[in-house]
């Protein structure tokens, strides 16, 4: 633990007590990563909304220009032609009742789930299993659709979902430290743009209150969130 503490302390010392622009932060997050594995880079945006109010819930999806850097296992609930469409699009698991039975037995070896609307009544029966794990298909995020091939392809390209948490913060993985600083910056810009567009009409006052960029093990790098949001608005 002492060794890890020294590494984190050394990494934190590289972060100055000021707000950073995205380009500079994209380069710095690579310098402050010290783990032996390819750490995930995460963007956290603190919003001026009240998540307890339904009309101020911020959620959405965006496609990262450079992907997430990780292999996503995609499951599609579909039958007939849509089942074949999903298979041809490259989904890892495709089916209906057979997959639902496996899930009821405890199988959850997938990262994203898509379902055609006609199967949602059946999928809803495992909602208590999928929901808490963030795996439940949802029309608001484009995962309940008859356009299964398009949904699979977008996820493969790097589509990420986001949803404001109880503290009013949006957390989004935007790549790996093995990415270039420019790639991290451009992925972060895509998320910022999407979050700004998702601003609820009932949100008053300052919308983006703060933002932080960090790697899995590294320190947080404070961003000039308001200025970034204005530039992308």
The full set of domains in the chain, from first to last, is 17-68+159-232 (3.30.190.20), 74-148 (3.40.50.790)
**What are the tokens at 18?**
């000021």
Q: Could you tell me which of 21, 36, 22 has the C-alpha nearest to residue 217? A: 36
How many Å apart are CA 42 and CA 10, to the nearest integer? 20
pTM over the 0.75 mark:
yes
Is residue 47 within 8 A of residue 169, CB to CB? The reply is yes
What's the pLDDT score for residue 199? 92
Is residue 29 within 8 A of residue 41, CB to CB? The reply is yes
Q: Could you tell me which of 55, 73, 4, 63 has the C-alpha nearest to residue 219? A: 4
Residue 102 main-chain phi, psi, to 5 deg: -65, -40
| Low-confidence stretches of the chain (pLDDT beneath 70) | 1-4, 231-233
208, β-bridge pairs? 47
What's the pLDDT score for residue 8? 87
What's the pLDDT score for residue 1? 44
Is residue 219 within 8 A of residue 12, CB to CB? The reply is yes
What's the pLDDT score for residue 177? 95
Which secondary structure element, helix H or strand E, spans residue 159, and what is its range? strand 159-163
Q: Could you tell me which of 193, 197, 196, 161 has the C-alpha nearest to residue 61? A: 161
Ramachandran sector of residue 229 (left: φ over 0; alpha: ψ -120 to 50; beta: rest) = alpha
List own/partner pairs for 226-233 with CB under 8 A and 24 or more apart: 227/19, 227/21, 228/21, 228/22, 228/189, 228/192, 229/192, 229/195, 229/196, 232/189, 232/192, 232/193, 232/196, 233/196
What's the pLDDT score for residue 233? 58
Q: Could you tell me which of 197, 191, 229 has the C-alpha nearest to residue 63? A: 191
């Amino acid at each position: 633990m002492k060794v890890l503490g020294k590494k984190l302390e050394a990494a934190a010392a590289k972060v100055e007590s000021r707000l950073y622009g995205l380009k500079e932060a994209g380069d710095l997050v690579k310098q402050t990563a010290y783990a032996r594995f390819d750490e995930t880079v995460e963007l956290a945006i603190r919003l001026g909304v009240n998540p307890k109010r339904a009309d101020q819930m911020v959620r959405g999806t965006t496609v990262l220009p450079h992907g997430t850097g990780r292999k996503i296992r995609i499951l599609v609930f579909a039958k007939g032609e849509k089942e074949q469409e999903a298979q041809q699009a490259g989904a890892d698991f495709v089916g209906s009742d057979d997959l639902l039975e496996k899930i009821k037995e405890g199988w959850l070896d997938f990262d994203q789930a898509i379902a055609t609307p006609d199967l949602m009544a059946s999928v809803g029966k495992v909602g208590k299993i999928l929901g808490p794990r963030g795996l439940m298909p949802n029309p608001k995020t484009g995962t309940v659709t008859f356009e299964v091939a398009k949904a699979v392809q977008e996820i493969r390209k790097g589509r990420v979902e986001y949803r404001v948490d109880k503290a009013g913060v949006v957390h989004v993985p935007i790549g790996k430290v093995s990415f270039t600083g420019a790639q991290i910056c451009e992925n972060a810009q895509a998320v910022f743009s999407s979050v700004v567009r998702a601003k609820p009409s009932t949100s008053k006052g300052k919308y983006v209150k703060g933002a932080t960029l960090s790697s899995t093990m590294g320190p947080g790098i404070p961003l000039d969130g308001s200025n970034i949001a204005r530039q992308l608005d």
